[in-house]
Structure 1
Amino acid sequence: MFFFVNYIIGQDTISSQPTSCGCCPSPYCQAKSTPCSTNSDCECLMMAMTGGGMCTDTVMSCKDLVPCQNDNKTCSAANTGTCQPLGNSFFCLCPSTHFGPVCEYRGTGTDLTVLETILNGSLTNYDQTVENVLNRSNWTNMVAVVDVTGSMQPCAAAVYKWLKLAYDKLNSIKYYVFFNDGDNKADSLKVIGSTGGIYGIPTTNLNTTLAVMQAAMKNGNGGDGPENDIEAILFGIKQCPTCTNLIHIADNQVTPRDMILLSNVTLPVKVITCQLNSYPVNPDLINIASRTGGSIHTLQQDIINLSGIPVNGTIVIGSSTYRRTVNGYVQIA
């Protein structure tokens, strides 16, 4: 049995024999691990899916890792899912008959009719903010952090459609993070910084990207109003440290529960507001952009100088006016 462990992004994947793996249970570790990086914490481990090697962090103990099934490909008792690496663990891509992080539930999960009708072209009247913003921007080398809870299906579909049309642009979105605020976890169990329901995937294969997005949607629908936006943003930065742009496809109708973590964000966040409709832009989303040196983007506007506005200064977004205070932006009209 092999284990999925944390990728060290940017290191080369190399060919290796089973005996050169690092943190695997016996009898597979009969030889010394193979160095693959100047980082002394890294070793070359055998990959469960391919049999090749990957350079990975092995500081953690083997007992802290989560195993796949004996065939190294499936990850539920019913052998219905396919393992995909996710940080220090894994999640499952499930067949249509099951859903859940390890395909533990029988059924279809969250209804994805809206997503499917947008992707197949039969529904054209939906929120197209994402497509408009991405089409008029020249960002490259992006990590995209996408809220896929509840009514956010149209916005998630729009991101995927744009990626599919722009797939020949090699410097566009490099890594996707989809988050659903806890995989239907009880609201009382949601802890800031570790709520979960976060799914990440490099954009090297469009079909797999879509499957991961669908898995994130099926496995959780958000629950209470506040969501784990910053937790998901931090996950994206960690998984794609070479990405230079971070876009956050955010639900304007809800407030992040974990704004206290915002000081840990190391990239400017370009916030694309979805579900705006006739409502004003959520001040918390403006503050995410402002405090990270990022920007706010709506269907009609790109506001890029939020952090440069002085305290007590104002800005108009849509039909609403906001004032910058020492504690952030507040709506005043």
Structure 2
Amino acid sequence: MANTALLASTRKQTFISLRGLSHEVCVAATQVEYWQQLTKNSNISITCNGNYVPGELESICADEDEPRLQLVIESHYENDRKQFDGICTRIHYDLISFENNDRPIYDPDRHQLIVYGSLFNSLPSDMFDTERYLLGQRNCNIKKIRNSLACSISIDSSMARRHCFIIYHEKQTIMDLAAIELQALVRQAQNHYIMCYATKIGRTLIGPIERMETMESNILSSNPEEFPSYTPFQPNVKRKRMEGEEHALAKNQPIIDSDQSDDETIDNDKRYNIEGSISTSTLNNSPNQDDPDHISSHLSSLLDGCFRVKL
């Protein structure tokens, strides 16, 4: 659809909407090299503005909120009028032919298969990064295909919003399989773009305050089993005690309460050593263990020693 306006006696302007068209069509129609071919030997200018909104979201967001992607063709001189009309007609025909712009191309001279991947990104890089979703970190997505099929894949990213993948292998079937995987990778990145754009629209609709309240409400009302990374706060001592009880029950061992303070508990080894040394020294120093007076004094010493240790 084109809208033409006469802004002055020598100025003419037309808008061609790219609404609802595919990534490959919009990328091809917005290439600077393509515009230069159309406007050669004239003073006509072609630019673009607006956002690429996925077709799945067309009915959800209004034009005022998300201005749609469009071409702007403008002429400033009377002698460009005829060429201006021809350019507009040519663009309408090209938008149809661009639907097959990314089909694989076989190069028989070099025995190579060339695959293209187009993705028009109107989102900020912190929300959607084409390199990350398409190629992966350090081209890991491409390396995975290359290693699985033992073929050679080189990448040409010189064109704006369009990647070129050059595949080489002795067997034609291997190159065809690599091309299929690369095309699936491009579609996957385009689907991620739909998800990220839907998130952008959702954030605009609900606002930051409501979004924060919803996140807090979901965390507080959800079961910890559903969110294993979220654990309610517990005092450090109590948490260690609970972990110790679970570990002891699993091994059928007696539970040692670790919730007592340091001044109320004494290490078992130290307690045994102290009590053992007291009883041993008392018994060894006794001249007659059968003497009742000695036994009575011995018991008194033991009791006094125990009270001294525990106090």
TM-score (norm 2): 0.19
Is the helix fraction higher in 1 or 2? Answer: 2
1 or 2, which has the higher strand percentage?
Answer: 1
